[in-house]
Amino acid sequence: MENYDKEVLDLAMEAGRILLDAGAEIFRVEETIQRIAKAFGIEKCSTFVLSTGIFITAENQEGQIYASVKHIPISGAKLHRIAAVNQLSREIVEGKYSVKEAEEKLEVIKHMPGKRGIVQMFASGVGSGSFCYLLGGNLEDMAAAFLSGFLLYALILGFGKREKRTSKIVTNLAGGFCVSFFAVLFYRLGLGNAPGSILVGSVMPLVPGVSLVNAVRDFADGDYIGGGVRFLDALMVALGIAMGVGIMYFLYYNLTGGILL
């Protein structure tokens, strides 16, 4: 296969890899790969996308075959990268970029940073406080939930900065334990009157909402393998959170003889 065709297919593969790594749906990854390949003149291109891998095969006019496989571990959502790759693929279809220019743009997207840590921590706190309010908490409860969510995300960011990758189950177990500890601590210090609302609101930043929504969308599109993997991943996250909260409740009950909620 000619070098040009390989460059195009490598570009399409990299775009799909970035999307899947960022938590995009299966149909979006397949559609983007097909769109990029067709925009640069490759008609016979087949893709098979799973939640953890991409398979591409293509054939040129001379009958030469191209095949590529990429393994992509499941990771958290990076919506800013999904939006950037979507925009790039549409601009490619409009003919705005050559292959080289598209590769350069994709390289920029690949290293696109997310929001600063303090912004993520503040957003986590605001989300926790808001959910606490929706669950019937008052202003003091919201303040306690805000602080719990804020400190929770500081912990999550700390795990993310480790050189050795921390297991998702361990991260969510530790997160569930710590957010429960913070909620109880603030309540015992007199900040808040509804520990249940504080706890549930504080734990919301850990809930795998994007994974669940994508799993349902994959099921709706007939991608049962991909949807099943994402759904199982969301269940494992929920299990880790539940174990963390349960361990905290068990320790609190046995050390103080009181009840948590």
Q: What pLDDT digit, counting tens, does each position of 11-67 carry?
A: 899 999 999 888 888 888 888 998 998 888 887 888 888 888 889 888 777 777 778
Q: What is the pLDDT of residue 2?
A: 63
Q: Does 86 score more than 70 pLDDT? A: yes
One-letter amino acid of 174: A
One-letter amino acid of 19: L
Percentage of the chain exceeding pLDDT 90: 5
Q: How confident is the model at residue 228 (pLDDT cuts 50, 70, 90)?
A: confident
Helix (H, G, I), strand (E, B) or coil at 39: helix
Tens of pLDDT, residues 235-261:
888 888 989 988 888 888 877 766 555
Pick the range with the lowest mean pLDDT from 23-37, 105-119, 155-169, 195-209: 155-169
One-letter amino acid of 193: N
Q: Tokens 């040009």 map to which residue?
A: 4
Cα radius of gyration (the chain):
22
Contact 147, 125 (CB under 8 A): yes
Q: Which residue has the higher pLDDT, 11 or 159?
A: 11
How many CA atoms lie within 13 Å of 235's alpha carbon, on the beta-carbon side? 7
Mean pLDDT of 87-116: 86
The per-residue DSSP string of 209-244 comes to HHHHHHHHHHHHTT-HHHHHHHHHHHHHHHHHHHHH
Mean pLDDT of 72-87: 84
Helix (H, G, I), strand (E, B) or coil at 30: helix
Q: What is the pLDDT of residue 163?
A: 65
Angle at 196 between CA 160 and CA 183, to 5 degrees: 45
48 Cβ contact partners less than 8 Å away, ≥ 6 residues apart: 54, 55, 56
6 Cβ contact partners less than 8 Å away, ≥ 6 residues apart: 66
Cβ atoms < 10 Å from Cβ of 79: 12
Put the strands of the sheet holding 65-71 in their side by side order: 45-50, 53-59, 65-71
Q: Does 219 score more than 60 pLDDT? A: yes
Q: What is the mean pLDDT of the chain?
A: 84
- Which region holds residue 95: left if phi is over 0, alpha if psi is between -120 and 50, else beta? left
Q: What is the pLDDT of residue 115?
A: 76
Q: Does 85 score more than 70 pLDDT? A: yes
Q: What is the pLDDT of residue 258?
A: 61
Give, rounded to a whole angstrom, the gap between the first and last alpha carbons of the chain.
Answer: 66
Q: What is the pLDDT of residue 146?
A: 92
